[in-house]
Structures are given as structure tokens and as C-alpha cells.
Amino acid sequence: SSERMSTANESEQRPRKRSSGSSTAFEAKYTEGVMLGEGGFGSVYAGYRKDDNLPDMTLLRWKKMGNGILIPMEVALLLKLRPAAAETSAAVTLLDWYDLDDELILVLERPDPCMDLVDYMNSRGSALPEQEAKIIVKQLVDALIEIHSRGVFHRDIKMDNILIEIGNDVPRVRLIDFGCGTYLSEGIYIKEQGTYIYGSPEWFLNGLYRAGPTTVWQLGVVLYGILHRALPFQNSTEIIYENPPIRDGLSLGKSQNIQ
């Protein structure tokens, strides 16, 4: 075919650097609490606002990469997803950020009580029943529609990046970690997707993919994980060629499953 494919421009101009303040300003406003996690590029802490001791926030301290001229992509995406006054967002809200000489600090909303979907599944000790899976996946679909409507492609939908707020009778789904995200486009993407075992077949076959089908694929992997307490694939060969086993008792093929 001579059809030309448009490639998503992931280097689309982001806002110029707009520092939110100095390290002194950060330390005057926030107290850093216990470390919640640590990775190769930074650390996550519980955080507190000093003027009212508000505890419901997370501090992400990232080592700086690059020349710092542009706002890091994750900040740009979270700014696009910030809810307007009196609105709520499926994405965890960026409250503040500090672009310092050697690190980037993000101050994020921390819903409480909550846990990620992996811990939520572990706390239950079994795969979720279909009715509960339907509630969670329906909210996740709505969340993804919301972020796509705001021009954001998450690109790393997985159980670790889904928070479940557990303070109400009905659990509420929130999305976190837009570090692999980019701007939404109808074109073709060529940059590597987020997490290997959630990757779509077309990426492993051709090194190309689109936002919509990739999001649907990753959502399907999550749904399988919820209903089986195990992921469907372990490597690219399985992703491309194999159909995962389906446990007995599921209402397969019934379109009303997540309506």
C-alpha cells in the first residue's frame, strides 16, 4: 500500500521552564515524611503542608535528567489534567512542583485511604468476582476516556498504576504515574511503550502502535489480571502468538459485562 502513515510527534513543544520556586521555598511550605518507595531515578515520600499539617499528599523527588530547559513531560501532562474548580479528576492531581538545580520535586494529591490495584488484589487473597471487576473496569474506562479527551496518552496502564480509594462503599479508581505518557495523537508512535508484559502485539511485531488500540490492549491485560489474579502473558512470544487460559465460570462473550 502507498498509504502514508503520520508519526506522532512526541517532541511537541512543551511549555518553557517555569520554576515553581526554590528549595528554600519548598522547605518552608512542606515537611517531608517517611519514604514510601525508591527507584533508579528518584524517591517517593509522604508529605505534609506546614501551614495546616495536611497529610494527603505525596512528594516525588526525581534526579534531574537533561538540561532542564523545558518542563518535564510528566509535569506538562499533569498540568493538562488538573481539574477546574469544583471538578474532580481520575488522575491524581498535581498540587505543586519545584524545578531545582539537581532534582525535580512533584507534590501530588495522596488519596487516603487507598492502595494500588496489586495490593488491593493481594488484600482480597483471590481474583475479584465479576460484579466488582465490572465496577472497577467501568471506572477505568471512564478515566481513560477523560484523559484522552484532555489530549493525554498514559501509555503505561497497569495494575501498579491504578489506585483504589477504599474509604467509601464503592471503590473509586484513580490513575497515577504519567512518567511514560505523552501527548495524544491519531498518528503512529514509535517510542517504546511503558511496561514490557503489558505491551501490545503490534509493538513487538512492527515497532509501531497507535494510542487507542494500545490503551484498549493494556486495559484488557488489567481486566484479565483482576479476574485471574495473574497476568495473561510473560513474554513477547506469548503476547504475539498465544491465547491465555480463561478460568471456568466467567461470562465470556457477554457484552453487558462492563456496561
pLDDT digits (tens, 9 = 90+) for 99-115: 887 788 888 888 878 89
Whether the domain at 23-109 and the domain at 114-258 fall into the same CATH topology? no
**In this structure, are residues 54 and 48 in contact, taking their beta carbons and an 8 Å threshold?**
yes
Query: Is the torsion defined by CA of 145, 150, 151, 157 positive or negative?
Result: negative
Q: Provide, rounded to the nearest whole percent, the portion of the chain with pLDDT above 90.
A: 46
C-alpha to C-alpha distance for 244 and 130, rounded to whole angstroms: 18
Nine cell digits for residue 152:
493525554
- The pTM for the full model equals 0.82
109 is in an annotated binding site: yes
Is residue 42 a known part of a binding site? yes
**Domain boundaries, given as residue ranges, for the chain:** 23-109, 114-258
Q: State how far Cα 88 lies from the chain centre.
A: 16
Opening angle at CA 161, ends 209 and 247, nearest 5: 80
Q: In the prediction, which pLDDT does 167 show?
A: 80
Q: Does 94 show up as a binding residue in the annotation?
A: no
Active site residues: 156
167 annotated to a ligand binding site: no
Q: Which fold has domain 23-109?
A: Phosphorylase Kinase; domain 1 (3.30.200)
Tens of pLDDT along 113-139?
Answer: 889 999 999 999 999 999 999 999 999
Domain 114-258 coded CATH 2.60.40.1170: no
